[in-house]
Amino acid sequence: MQHCDTLILAGWCIPVEPHDLVLPDHGVAVTDGKIVELLPTGEARKKYAPGVLVDRPDHVLIPGLVNTHTHAAMTLLRGIADDLPLEQWLKDAIWPIENRWVGTEFVRDGTRLAIAEMLLSGCTCFSDQYFFPEIVAETAEDMYMRAVVATPVLEFPTPWADNATECLNKGAELVHDRYAEHTLISSAFAPHSTATVSDETFGELRILADQLDKRIQIHLHESAQEVEDALAATGERPIERLKRLGLINSSLLAVHAVHLTDDEIRLFADTGVSVAHCPNSNLKLADGIARITAIHSAEIPVGLGTDGAASNNLLSMPGEMRTAALLAKAESEDATALPAATALRMATLTGARTLGLEEQIGSIESGKWADLACIDLMHINSQPVYDPLSQVVYAIHPQQISDVWIAGRHQVENGALAQIDQADILRRSAEWRQQINGQLS
């Protein structure tokens, strides 16, 4: 018998790579936070003497879900301003509240709430754009959550930095500091949008990101208004401008990408740009429906994202998978578009690829981090089970996530946070509501 730290046995395993494969009665052996082997349950029981055995016969084991775009701390603003258009939502509702309240404690408490929500719904890695990225990184590390912490870059003063130069300096410091070669935390740069960053700053950012070998993510062609405003202001569409500035390349993650022409899709495909597709946020803000079938067909890597809770209002990756799969069919007028296996792949391995993490996470393969999620199908709404892959995408509720592991650490157990003080998070959230509400009224 061979030792392993943890042996997880499941009714079905979906490794994602190879594509579209469901393995009944399989197990995963984990040691030192990494996947050692995926093998049939019978063999696993004979071969391994595990420190901990987790037996989940009615469950599907999948790679942990990867949320490629969020603003975690905005959970504290969940539902504070709904049913408004993007520009008005930002300028009249969100930005004034952020300017008044956002600081280190807001970001810490909001990020904790967000990480708890993401863990409970099977997400094991999130890519975050928000002020005080050093607090986001620290909080993720404290809670043992995998995160890509992107440093925001904006010209105008925010509660976190006075100008773009300060953003870049702070970002560079974050990268060089403790997170250079970290198990859980990696970093990136996040110019907010082309409307809020100058040509000069983009130029500096490009050089800095190249030097540090960091990826860049940006809200791009989210609304028709954004594209029109840019054309009016600069004579260029945002993508055109980024191309001129040398940022359209394989280090770029285009967030939203709702309004793309055929030429822009081709450009992304030719240059290796990735896309973070946030279907529920795009619907809620009436941005439109991304041409995800065409984008995917052009072999552009597409990850899924929840966006912030203020424009969703959930951080539920199972929900994004389902919506992405359903919406693609309507958008392309083709019911065969974006089948279940493809939706799950976007939410895991391809998502990891858009963040530069495809060698480390996103599939159940030997040598990768043991970032895993287990889903209990023995619920009325998931029965009967003809095809576990169909259930995972089309017929579960997020609260069926029974177990989550991050680099082998058992973070969610029997549907509850195993290592995190949920009561404290709820208490702090209620305090923030009271404070912010007092200010509003």
Residues near a second copy (CB under 8 A): 75-76, 78-80, 82-86, 89, 113, 116-117, 120-121, 280, 282-289, 309, 312-316, 323, 326-327, 329-330, 332-337, 339-340, 378, 380-387, 390-391, 394-395, 397-400, 422, 425-426, 429-430, 432-433, 436-437
The two three-digit tokens of residue 324, written as one number = 């992405």
Contact 292, 302 (CB under 8 A): yes
Q: Which is nearer to a second copy, 75 or 151 (CB)?
A: 75
Q: Which is nearer to a second copy, 269 or 283 (CB)?
A: 283
Q: Which is nearer to a second copy, 194 or 391 (CB)?
A: 391
Q: Work out how close the CB of 186 gets to a second copy at its nearest, in angstroms, rounded to a whole number.
A: 25
Which phi and psi (to 5°) does residue 38 adopt?
-110, 125
CA 181 – CA 307 distance, rounded (Å): 27
Q: Which is nearer to a second copy, 50 or 319 (CB)?
A: 319
The dihedral built from the CA positions of residue 224, 261, 200 and 192, taken in this order, carries a sign that is: positive
Q: Work out how close the CB of 426 gets to a second copy at its nearest, in angstroms, rounded to a whole number.
A: 6
The two three-digit tokens of residue 214, written as one number = 């960091």
CA 369 – CA 66 distance, rounded (Å): 13
Q: Work out how close the CB of 328 gets to a second copy at its nearest, in angstroms, rounded to a whole number.
A: 9
The secondary structure of 172-215 as a DSSP string is: HHHHHTTTTT-SSEEEEEEE--GGGS-HHHHHHHHHHHHHHT-E
3-state secondary structure of 56: strand
Q: Which is nearer to a second copy, 217 or 391 (CB)?
A: 391
CA 31 – CA 36 distance, rounded (Å): 6
Q: Work out how close the CB of 440 gets to a second copy at its nearest, in angstroms, rounded to a whole number.
A: 8
Question: What amino acid occupies position 204?
Answer: E
CA 15 – CA 29 distance, rounded (Å): 13
Q: Look at residues 146, 144, 132 and name the one whose alpha carbon lies nearest to residue 68.
A: 146
3-state secondary structure of 93: helix
Q: Count other Cβ atoms within 10 Å, centred on residue 279.
A: 28
Q: Work out how close the CB of 280 gets to a second copy at its nearest, in angstroms, rounded to a whole number.
A: 6
Q: Work out how close the CB of 57 gets to a second copy at its nearest, in angstroms, rounded to a whole number.
A: 13
Q: Look at residues 412, 422, 424, 388 and name the one whose alpha carbon lies nearest to residue 124.
A: 412
Q: Work out how close the CB of 403 gets to a second copy at its nearest, in angstroms, rounded to a whole number.
A: 16
Q: Which is nearer to a second copy, 212 or 294 (CB)?
A: 294
Q: What angle do CA 148, 9, 305 make, to 5 degrees?
A: 25
Q: Which is nearer to a second copy, 249 or 390 (CB)?
A: 390
What do you get for the CA distance between the two ends of the chain, in Å?
A: 66
CA 308 – CA 317 distance, rounded (Å): 12
Q: Work out how close the CB of 86 gets to a second copy at its nearest, in angstroms, rounded to a whole number.
A: 7
Q: Which is nearer to a second copy, 137 or 337 (CB)?
A: 337
Q: Which residues contact 89 (CB under 8 A, 6 or more apart)?
A: 81, 285, 311
CA 99 – CA 128 distance, rounded (Å): 19
Q: Which is nearer to a second copy, 195 or 326 (CB)?
A: 326
User: What are the DSSP E strand ranges found in 192-338?
Assistant: 215-220, 252-256, 274-277, 302-304
Q: Work out how close the CB of 337 gets to a second copy at its nearest, in angstroms, rounded to a whole number.
A: 7
Q: Work out how close the CB of 244 gets to a second copy at its nearest, in angstroms, rounded to a whole number.
A: 30
Longest alpha-carbon distance in the chain: 69
Q: Work out how close the CB of 58 gets to a second copy at its nearest, in angstroms, rounded to a whole number.
A: 10
Q: Which is nearer to a second copy, 2 or 383 (CB)?
A: 383
Q: Which is nearer to a second copy, 336 or 414 (CB)?
A: 336
